Structure 1
Amino acid sequence: MSEDIALPATAKPADLRTRLLALKEAIEHEEARQRAAIARALPKHRVSATNLAHYFGLRKQEVRRLQLELAAVGLSSLGRCEGEVRDTLLRLCAWLDGARGDAGDAGDELNREKAEKLLHENSRALFGPMPRARHVYIMVTAPDAADATPSWADDLFEAGADVLRINGAHQSPAEWRVIASAFKEGAKRHGRVARVFVDLPGPKLRAEICQFEDTVLHLPRRKDRLGRTIAPSRVLLVAQREAAAGLPIPPEWLPLLQAGDKLRFTDAGGRDRELEVRESAQGGWIAECGGSLYVVQGLALAWLRGQKTLGEGRVGKFPKQPRTLLLNIGDTLLLNPSGQCDDPKLPVLALPLPHLLEQVRAGEAVILDDGRLVAIVESVRSEGLLCRITRVLKSPARLRSGKGIAFPESRISMGHLDAQDEAALDFALSHADGVGVSFVNTAADVSLVGERIRAAGKPGFGMILKLETRAAMRNLSAILFETLRYDPVGLMIARGDLALELSFERLAEMQEELLWFGEACHLPVIWATQVLDSAAHTGLATRAEITDAAMSMRAECVMLNKGPYIGTATRMLADIIHKMEAHQFKKRSLYRPLAVAGDAG
């Protein structure tokens, strides 16, 4: 504990009361200052907007010494007052005035019981009925469409999943429809009400590589640690004219295929392979192969039913794929709108927004591929941003097209929905229960999507704001007040990108602050990014992941990323949350009786 806030001698009640009244005056001043923002909130959220103003007013003060002094005389230290700030201050003053037992009318209209009720009501409005045997929802990330089978959905619901998240930055609307339908149908089989959310890709910058090479489709099989196959490779068979995703086959075959049919061929590596048609999916068929395979366009195919050959054809056309860049520390890299330059030896990335050249300055950092590469802008030239690689996770770093690029020290302005966002939003409004708004930077980003939802006339359609940028932290007050103009709404702590923008050290602090701000405005918070990530990918969690999962239950919802063992990870998380709820609710520790082995002799 720092010396400037070290515990002093016990303060007098009159002195404590004076300082609490000064805090009350400060929060009421902030309420008056935010009167216009409070008035813009929906009527059902107005009391929450008022409390949010009170919380901002409280957090602008230095209260740590007062907190210690209050705790020293057995009173609330203000450390759990987020949901009912003014009520807490009034009740403390009443106690210091000599009140005993129930403070009666000494508190505020918004007390702890009402604050918790608001939080639970807003959670149910966004996510649906409360889960059985716990109050924390589990959100899972959707897999590829080929893996969204009835057994996948059954496994998730049996494990305890409540909500599905579809990443709108990947796959296509046709594949999203397959995934959403499989999840919803699984919910019906299990007598559940399950919500589906679609993430809008948002203004995350993705750098493109404009040099291309032939596409190779690799379909791996899943193995255990002894090298034994535990799951076959899977692929979605599609018509040649729809070859943007999946394996393109002659279009006339598709409506005639049956479960049990086989496609026989020699793959690009010269190995004889056989795909067995397993089940239909919207727009195609899912097929499996016992071995891994590499497929290129033009490979000869034979279609068999039993021993009879029904047709011969070829794998259809794949779109060309961008080549991969190999980069080491000290290498230079050019960023410009075209992705082209006169020097054939200089690696080039195409930036999606031409005006970035005007908003980035020399000396500012550039983060690529979720932090796997870090560079610094050496100079801003007419031909683009010349950057030098300063750090790589592994040398040489392999940078593929479409990977994220961030400028955490630059002030980047975007503020619009691009074609990919529009496609995801249109799909969500027709087939889902809400959207996740990625890379929210300003209050205008909130209203941009919120007004589109309102204009669509979809009452009950949810909106989750993903807080993951430095700009969002700078503009947090305006973003939260704007959020309270819509319903139902929630907040996601997207810790992956937030860590890149703020540093991992600052993330530890900010994830706590965001939990508290969510409680202050009575909105559900989603704890996201790499929760039980090893468990989802290998079936085994690390010790640190167990601790993180236990901490996550202070949020209203926890998000898991996809992985081959997502059912295992979901069961593990549900069990951890169920056990931890006997010990903690939000920031409050709960003491259940312990079975002690024996008394000291």
Structure 2
Amino acid sequence: MANKSSIDSIKEELLILETKMATEVGLRLNMLRGLHSEQFESGKNLIEYLTLRKEDLRSLQDDLHVHGLSSLASSESHMHRQVQAILERLGKSYTEEELDMCTYSFSKKRIKDKSQQLFGKQLLEDIPSLMVTFDSGFADNYALVKSLLLSGMNVARINCAHDDEATWSKMIHKIKKASKQTGLDCKVYMDLAGPKIRTKLLGKGKEEGEIKVKDGTMIWLADDAKGFDAEEVVISPNEPGIISMLQKGDRVFIDDGKFGGIVEKVKKNKVGVRINRVSSKKGLIKNEKGINFPDTILKIPSMTAFDRSCLPFICKHADLLGYSFVKTVEDISILRETIKELGVKNPSLIIKIETHEAVENLPSLLLEGMKHRGFGVMIARGDLAVEIGFERTGEIQEEILWICEAAHVPVVWATQVLESLNKSGMATRSEITDAGQSANAECVMINKGEHTLEVIATLKNILKRTASHRIKKRFRFRSLKIAEKFMAG
């Protein structure tokens, strides 16, 4: 027989949590009423989930499990109703009006409906939708586009950081033609390029477009090559104002983290970075490679002048608009106001989580995005891994999935999915495991490569095998820093 005092203790703790959830929701009612009407219950559940996740509930979870009760794991989408269900088992009675309408079945349907709204109807309902990144060559290859659609592509991704409107138009024409001919729906997703923080060699190696560096090399970041010797390595981050934002001790990563360094010297209009990690075999820093500054608060807009010039075309042709390098609520507000000023239709919004700041601000970003009826999140794991550290990527992508599930916000799992298979025709073992993890998202993005059709076939096979297992994990609720930060705000 269960110990009565321990049962009473569990009940008391759950009642306290329920009161806290009601209090936090009450404090944010005005915020919740500002969401799209179809997002209200989802926003409310997000607040309730974050209320619990600012606490360390591991001991309570163990007690619940020992007594044969739900440990609250896998209840992100209907947290308050799950607490109520446990309390009912422990003797508390609720009126019909008191019971939270956000049940397991309600939330499951809500996420399914939102995913279908964003990514279209799927032929295989038990696996995530498949998004395929288009290469320039797709614009002149109708047979390939049709084959991708027949193989299971639900969403075609066009990255506006590459090519131009003429090429994008060709891609869209072939997508629409293939969709009409096959009778299969395919959504068009277009990314805003965002600020292009990329290498531009100004000094040594400028003519070749690459420069060899090794551990201990001092490289300089500057907007121009004035005052440097011909043998010095000078690189522009290709975005005005960044140099003045850097401070001594800030980390700098180049080319997806293949090169790492520390800001050692700060001078007028230039900073010296001492390279302390070279992971590339050839040790070549090339033009047009990404640069990340994880310790630096970059006060540059997420939307550039180029992005603004692309918006009329994107809003006319795209079903989904991808917003790159979103960091703050203001970034989303600026995009919304810009679209309103242009007087064009508003595609469904997908914000890309790819910076440390975006992770910290995730709950606020979700609530701002949920002012839209159609809204989703992309975990852009390439830049994100460099920004937060590769060793934290697995942990953070799980946290993003949990928080988005609590908000009933569909997630796109992106970057390097089966990338070796796509480029070389052979997948690594770790890639297969990673692809299996992607079953926890509502959509999986495949990058461009030579073996895209094979990647789709392999990914579908993996997802079919793992989808039926994915809700059986049991997570423990230690306190989440993201939740603590939001609830304290």
Compute the TM-score of the two structures, normalised by the length of structure 1: 0.74
1:186-335 correspondence runs (5 A)? 186-210=178-202, 323-335=209-221
User: Which residue in 2 is equivalent to 1:168?
Assistant: 160
AA in 2 matched with 1:407: F
- 3-state DSSP class of the match of 1:13? helix
Identify the residue that residue 348 of structure 1 maps to in structure 2: 234
Residues 367-423 of structure 1, C-alpha deviation per residue, up to 9 Å, x if partnerless?
A: 111111111101110130111111111254222222111110111111252233224
Spell out, residue by residue over 1:484-538, the C-alpha distance to the aligned partner (whole angstroms, 9 max, x if none): 1112110011111111111112111111111111111111001111111122112
- Residue number among 101, 112, 130 corresponding to 1:109 in the alignment: 101
Q: 1: distance between equivalents of 2:287 and 2:412?
A: 29
Partner of 1:38: 32
Partners of 2:384 and 2:289 lie apart in 1 by 16
1:426 Cα deviation (Å)?
2.9
Q: Which residues of 2 match residues 145-156 of structure 1 at below 5 A?
A: 145=137, 148-156=140-148
**3-state secondary structure, aligned to 1:485:** coil
Alpha-carbon distance, 1:435 to partner: 1.4
Q: Deviations over 1:271-292 (max 9, x none)?
A: xxxxxxxxxxxxxxxxxxxxxx
Query: Corresponding residue for 1:29?
Result: 23
Q: Is residue 2:4 matched to residue 1:118?
A: no
Considering fraction of residues, name the structure with more strand.
1
Hey, what does 2:485 align to over in structure 1? none
User: 2:285 & 2:5 partners in 1: Cα distance?
Assistant: 60
1:456-479 deviation line (CA, Å, top 9, x unaligned):
556561111111110112212221
Residue 581 of structure 1 corresponds to 467
CA contact (8 A) 1:145 1:178 kept: no
Asked if residue 369 in structure 1 is aligned to residue 255 in structure 2, the reply is yes
Secondary structure of the residue aligned to 2:179 is: helix
* Distance in structure 2 (CA, Å) of the matches to 1:330 and 1:184: 53
Relative distance call for 1:339 and 1:514 in structure 2 (3 A) is farther
Shift of 1:131: 3.3
2:88 maps to 94
Q: Give 1:153's aligned amino acid.
A: V
Say which of 58, 61, 66 aligns to 1:67: 61
**Aligned partner of residue 330 in structure 1, secondary structure:** coil
> C-alpha separation between the residues in 1 aligned to 2:116 and 2:358?
26
C-alpha spacing 1:568/1:36, structure 2 compared with 1 (3 Å): same
CA distance in 2, matches of 1:404, 1:583: 37
Q: Is the 8 A contact 1:209 1:350 kept in 2?
A: yes
* Counterpart among 131, 134, 144 of residue 139 in structure 1: 131
| Percent identity for Structure 1 against Structure 2 | 33
SS in 2 for 1:119: helix
Verify the 8 A CA contact 2:315 2:345 in the aligned structure 1: no
Residue equivalent to 2:370: 484
What amino acid maps onto 1:115 in structure 2? Answer: S
CA distance, structure 1, for counterparts of residue 82 and residue 403 of structure 2: 16
Q: Name the SS of the counterpart of 1:578 in structure 2.
A: helix
* Structure 1 residue 323: Cα displacement: 2.2
Using the TM superposition, give the Cα deviation of residue 325 of structure 1 relative to its aligned residue in structure 2, in angstroms. Answer: 1.9
Question: In structure 2, the residue corresponding to 1:527 is in which secondary structure?
Answer: strand
What is the alpha-carbon distance in structure 1 between the residues aligned to residue 92 and residue 308 of structure 2?
Answer: 60
Distance in 1 between the 2:214 and 2:309 partners? 37
Gaps of 5+ in 2: 476-489
Distance 2:308 2:325 in 1: 15
1:424 deviates by: 3.5
Counterparts of residues 527-538 of structure 1 (less than 5 Å): 527-538=413-424
Q: Compared with structure 1, are the counterparts of its residues 406 and 350 closer, same or farther at alpha carbon in structure 2 (3 Å cutoff)?
A: same
8 Å CA contact 1:416–1:448 kept in 2: the answer is no
Kindly provide the amino acid, as one letter, of the partner of residue 463 in structure 1.
Answer: L
Q: Are 2:316 and 2:345, in contact at CA under 8 Å, matched by a contact in 1?
A: no
Return closer, same or farther for 1:454/1:117 CA change in 2, 3 Å cut-off: farther
Aligned residue runs from structure 1 range 49-60, under 5 A: 49-60=43-54
- RMSD across aligned positions (CA): 2.6
Moved more, 452-461 or 504-513: 452-461
Taking the TM superposition and a 5 Å limit, the aligned residue runs for 1:357-396 are 357-396=243-282
* Match for residue 75 of structure 2 among 77, 81, 90: 81
More RCO (CA 8 Å, sep 6+): 2
Report which of the two has the higher share of helix.
Answer: 2
Tell me the residue number matched to 2:290: 404
Aligned length: 474
1:523 aligns with 2:395: no
Shift of residue 556, structure 1, vs aligned partner: 0.5
**Which amino acid letter does the alignment assign opposite residue 384 of structure 2?**
L
